[in-house]
Protein backbone atom coordinates (compact mmCIF):
# COMPACT_ATOMS: atom_id res chain seq x y z
CA UNK A 1 0.00 0.00 0.00
CA UNK A 2 2.88 2.35 0.78
CA UNK A 3 4.39 1.73 -2.66
CA UNK A 4 1.07 2.50 -4.33
CA UNK A 5 0.80 5.76 -2.38
CA UNK A 6 4.31 6.78 -3.47
CA UNK A 7 3.46 6.03 -7.09
CA UNK A 8 0.24 8.01 -6.95
CA UNK A 9 1.88 10.97 -5.22
CA UNK A 10 4.58 10.97 -7.89
CA UNK A 11 2.02 10.82 -10.67
CA UNK A 12 -0.08 13.62 -9.17
CA UNK A 13 3.09 15.69 -8.71
CA UNK A 14 4.22 15.39 -12.32
CA UNK A 15 0.71 16.00 -13.64
CA UNK A 16 0.30 18.97 -11.30
CA UNK A 17 3.56 20.46 -12.55
CA UNK A 18 2.38 20.06 -16.13
CA UNK A 19 -0.97 21.70 -15.36
CA UNK A 20 0.79 24.67 -13.72
CA UNK A 21 3.01 24.98 -16.80
CA UNK A 22 0.19 24.85 -19.36
CA UNK A 23 -1.89 27.36 -17.43
CA UNK A 24 0.99 29.81 -17.43
CA UNK A 25 1.50 29.77 -13.67
CA UNK A 26 5.02 28.35 -13.93
CA UNK A 27 7.79 28.68 -16.46
CA UNK A 28 9.42 25.61 -18.01
CA UNK A 29 12.80 26.80 -16.72
CA UNK A 30 11.60 27.46 -13.17
CA UNK A 31 13.23 25.56 -10.35
CA UNK A 32 9.81 24.72 -8.85
CA UNK A 33 8.71 23.00 -12.04
CA UNK A 34 11.92 21.01 -12.29
CA UNK A 35 11.98 19.98 -8.63
CA UNK A 36 8.36 18.85 -8.66
CA UNK A 37 9.05 16.76 -11.78
CA UNK A 38 12.20 15.37 -10.17
CA UNK A 39 10.38 14.34 -7.00
CA UNK A 40 7.46 12.96 -8.99
CA UNK A 41 9.79 10.86 -11.11
CA UNK A 42 11.66 9.52 -8.09
CA UNK A 43 8.45 8.67 -6.21
CA UNK A 44 6.97 7.04 -9.31
CA UNK A 45 10.13 4.98 -9.76
CA UNK A 46 10.11 3.92 -6.11
CA UNK A 47 6.47 2.86 -6.30
CA UNK A 48 7.04 0.96 -9.54
CA UNK A 49 10.08 -0.79 -8.11
CA UNK A 50 7.99 -2.32 -5.34
CA UNK A 51 5.70 -3.89 -7.95
CA UNK A 52 8.49 -4.94 -10.30
CA UNK A 53 7.22 -2.73 -13.13
CA UNK A 54 10.69 -2.22 -14.63
CA UNK A 55 9.70 -0.27 -17.75
CA UNK A 56 7.88 2.20 -15.53
CA UNK A 57 10.90 2.38 -13.20
CA UNK A 58 13.17 3.15 -16.14
CA UNK A 59 10.91 5.83 -17.62
CA UNK A 60 10.44 7.51 -14.26
CA UNK A 61 14.18 7.53 -13.59
CA UNK A 62 14.82 9.04 -17.02
CA UNK A 63 12.13 11.64 -16.25
CA UNK A 64 13.81 12.44 -12.93
CA UNK A 65 17.23 12.64 -14.62
CA UNK A 66 15.99 15.09 -17.24
CA UNK A 67 14.41 17.17 -14.49
CA UNK A 68 17.61 17.16 -12.45
CA UNK A 69 19.57 18.27 -15.51
CA UNK A 70 17.08 21.09 -16.07
CA UNK A 71 17.25 22.27 -12.45
CA UNK A 72 21.04 22.23 -12.40
CA UNK A 73 21.19 24.09 -15.71
CA UNK A 74 18.76 26.73 -14.45
CA UNK A 75 20.71 27.23 -11.23
CA UNK A 76 24.00 27.49 -13.17
CA UNK A 77 22.50 30.06 -15.55
CA UNK A 78 21.25 32.12 -12.60
CA UNK A 79 24.66 31.96 -10.95
CA UNK A 80 26.39 33.01 -14.18
CA UNK A 81 23.96 35.89 -14.61
CA UNK A 82 24.64 37.12 -11.08
CA UNK A 83 28.38 36.97 -11.75
CA UNK A 84 27.96 39.12 -14.87
CA UNK A 85 25.73 41.64 -13.10
CA UNK A 86 28.02 42.04 -10.10
CA UNK A 87 29.95 45.31 -10.40
CA UNK A 88 33.69 45.12 -10.33
CA UNK A 89 35.28 47.07 -7.50
CA UNK A 90 36.78 50.37 -8.56
CA UNK A 91 40.45 50.88 -7.85
CA UNK A 92 41.27 53.26 -5.04
CA UNK A 93 42.33 56.72 -6.22
CA UNK A 94 45.98 57.61 -5.67
CA UNK A 95 46.71 59.61 -2.53
CA UNK A 96 46.74 63.37 -2.97
CA UNK A 97 49.66 65.27 -1.49
CA UNK A 98 49.27 68.93 -0.52
CA UNK A 99 51.74 70.14 -3.15
CA UNK A 100 49.85 68.30 -5.91
CA UNK A 101 46.51 69.96 -5.28
CA UNK A 102 45.09 73.45 -5.01
CA UNK A 103 42.07 72.13 -3.16
CA UNK A 104 43.73 72.27 0.24
CA UNK A 105 42.51 74.97 2.59
CA UNK A 106 44.57 78.12 2.66
CA UNK A 107 45.24 77.64 6.35
CA UNK A 108 47.41 74.61 5.57
CA UNK A 109 49.56 76.37 2.98
CA UNK A 110 52.83 78.03 3.99
CA UNK A 111 53.03 81.77 3.56
CA UNK A 112 55.27 82.74 0.67
CA UNK A 113 57.65 84.65 2.98
CA UNK A 114 58.40 81.61 5.14
CA UNK A 115 58.65 79.10 2.34
CA UNK A 116 61.41 81.05 0.52
CA UNK A 117 63.73 81.01 3.53
Residue 32 lies in a domain: yes
pTM recorded for the entire structure:
0.68
For residues 84 and 33, which has the higher predicted lDDT (pLDDT)? 33
For residues 105 and 44, which has the higher predicted lDDT (pLDDT)? 44
Residue 77 lies in a domain: yes
Residue 80 lies in a domain: yes
Number of domains in the chain: 1
For residue 33, what pLDDT is reported?
95
Residue 101 lies in a domain: no
Residue 115 lies in a domain: no
For residue 8, what pLDDT is reported?
92
Q: What is the mean pLDDT of the chain?
A: 85
Residue 28 lies in a domain: yes
**Neighbour count for residue 32 (Cβ, 10 Å):** 13
39-65 per-position pLDDT tens digit? 999 999 999 999 999 999 999 999 999
Residue 43 to residue 10: CA distance in whole angstroms: 5
Residue 56 lies in a domain: yes
For residues 114 and 34, which has the higher predicted lDDT (pLDDT)? 34
Residue 42 to residue 51: CA distance in whole angstroms: 15
Residue 43 lies in a domain: yes
Task: Give me the domain span that covers residue 68.
Answer: 2-85
For residue 81, what pLDDT is reported?
85
Amino acid sequence: MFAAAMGWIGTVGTMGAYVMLTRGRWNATSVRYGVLNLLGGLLGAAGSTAYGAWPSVASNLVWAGVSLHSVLGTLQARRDQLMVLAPEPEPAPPPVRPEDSDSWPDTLKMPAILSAA
